[in-house]
Amino acid sequence: MDSIATIAGWLLILWALAEVFIEVLFPRALSPPLGSLLCRVAQRIAAGLWRGGAGWQRKLTSLVGPLLVITQILSWGLLLWLGFALIAWPRMGDTIVASGQSETPTDFFSAMYVMGYGLTTLGVGDLVPKSSGMRILFIAEAAVGFSVLTLVMTYLMSVYGAIAERNRIALLIDTATGGSGDPYEYLRESLWLPHETKLRTEDELADALIAIYESHQFYPVLHYFRFPEPAYLLPRMLYFSLEVATVAEVIRATEGEASGRRFTASSRLWPASNQLLTEAASNFSRRRSDGPRWDVEIATLRDYLQRWQAVQQRQDVELESLVSQYQELRERWLAPLQTVARSQGAERMLVEQLARSARGEDSAEP
């Protein structure tokens, strides 16, 4: 029995350290078993809250991300605590004894008590190690506890730093569209902007999307941070970026080799947007997307392309050919975007956004 408890303790410690190592120091290359399980549970909880439909249920989804992070950290600490306690339990009263004349307790909760103090680096004087092996174990436990605490702080700063950057880009998009999130609001305004100004904005957006993609691959928990304000929704950001990139790709194709630097940023925006969409969709694709496929009108696109033809004096380009190219490109991202929007409870908002775009309305988010 003593050997079984010791082996089980070491296995729990190794499991906890592996989870921390993969999640904090070596993310993206591997998926920690416990971390992946917690993410799947969080996804089901969030989806269940959104299906509930009540306002208070939807507001609770903003807590899923923070609670998931707390659960991860507590699970690491619990695994370590139980592991060290299982190692110490068979040695209570033998190589771990009371410091005074009192009798040494030998129950499991006493083992958890003494090892819990050691893991938190607080130390305790009423139960002390007597053998060299136990002294080394106590020192190693304190070192592990301090190291994990440091790594937890690094993890938290990385996660919340990535959230702050994602929110900054969301507000950049919100500002560029006058609070509506409508990509055609930005596209119509950009017709009259100097090319360098337009390129700087889209260049910054492309760089930001690449950074968001990297952070979401490193820390999948970021997918579950969903704020109640529509401006911060990842599907809204993706729709804006994909729509702008698609229109830019269609126009860039008409320029051919002569486009040069003028459309360099726009050409980077297309792969950056699709890369982030693929990452988000793969994270939520475990749950099959049910419901009707979006039927997106293109009236606003036609209006924008006609304005572009007038401003750029490109009446030689056939309008229907541009529309056909746009529809072909849009088919590549519409279904994955629908999956992400449904999984994050943002489908209704995006459908309303698409409907307003189809009618040519410029109203802000309701």
Q: Is residue 160 part of a domain?
A: no
Q: Are residues 75 and 216 in the same domain?
A: no
Q: Are residues 20 and 79 in the same domain?
A: yes
Contact 284, 223 (CB under 8 A): yes
Q: Are residues 222 and 347 in the same domain?
A: yes
Q: Is residue 310 part of a domain?
A: yes
Q: Are residues 132 and 266 in the same domain?
A: no
Instruction: Write the CA distances from 265 to 163, 201, 208, 216, 241, integer angstroms.
Output: 24, 9, 12, 22, 12
- The length of the chain is 366
pLDDT at residue 201 in the model: 77
User: What does DSSP assign to residue 97?
Assistant: E
Q: Are residues 18 and 67 in the same domain?
A: yes
Instruction: Write the CA distances from 236 to 82, 115, 177, integer angstroms.
Output: 43, 48, 12
Q: Are residues 109 and 196 in the same domain?
A: no
Tokens of 21: 């190592």
Rounded CA-CA distance 156/18 in Å is: 18
Please list the rounded mean pLDDT of every run of 10 residues in the chain (366 residues): 90 95 82 86 77 65 89 95 94 86 86 90 78 92 93 94 93 87 85 71 87 90 86 90 89 63 64 92 64 63 85 81 89 88 75 60 42
User: Residue 92 pairs with which residues in a beta bridge?
Assistant: 96
Q: Are residues 99 and 184 in the same domain?
A: no
Rounded CA-CA distance 362/10 in Å is: 61
Long-range contacts from 11-17, C-beta under 8 angstroms, 24+ separation: 11/83, 12/79, 12/80, 12/82, 12/83, 12/86, 13/79, 13/80, 13/83, 13/84, 13/87, 13/144, 15/79, 15/83, 16/76, 16/79, 16/80, 16/83, 16/148, 17/80, 17/144
Q: Is residue 161 part of a domain?
A: no
Q: Are residues 201 and 142 in the same domain?
A: no
Q: Is residue 240 part of a domain?
A: yes
What is the extent of the structural domain holding 278? 179-359
- Is the overall model pTM greater than 0.85, yes or no? no
| CB neighbours of residue 89 within 10 Å | 22
Q: Are residues 245 and 345 in the same domain?
A: yes
Q: Are residues 204 and 109 in the same domain?
A: no
Q: What are phi and psi of 128, to 5 degrees?
A: -130, 150
pLDDT at residue 161 in the model: 94
Task: Give 132-174 pLDDT, tens digit per residue.
Answer: 999 999 999 999 999 999 999 999 999 999 999 999 999 988 9
Rounded CA-CA distance 247/309 in Å is: 13
Q: Is residue 183 part of a domain?
A: yes
Q: Is residue 269 part of a domain?
A: yes
Total count of domains within the chain: 2
Task: Give 224-266 pLDDT, tens digit per residue.
Answer: 888 888 889 898 999 999 999 998 888 887 765 444 444 455 6
Q: Are residues 245 and 349 in the same domain?
A: yes
User: What does DSSP assign to residue 223?
Assistant: G
Contact 300, 356 (CB under 8 A): no
Q: Is residue 173 part of a domain?
A: no
Q: Are residues 60 and 187 in the same domain?
A: no
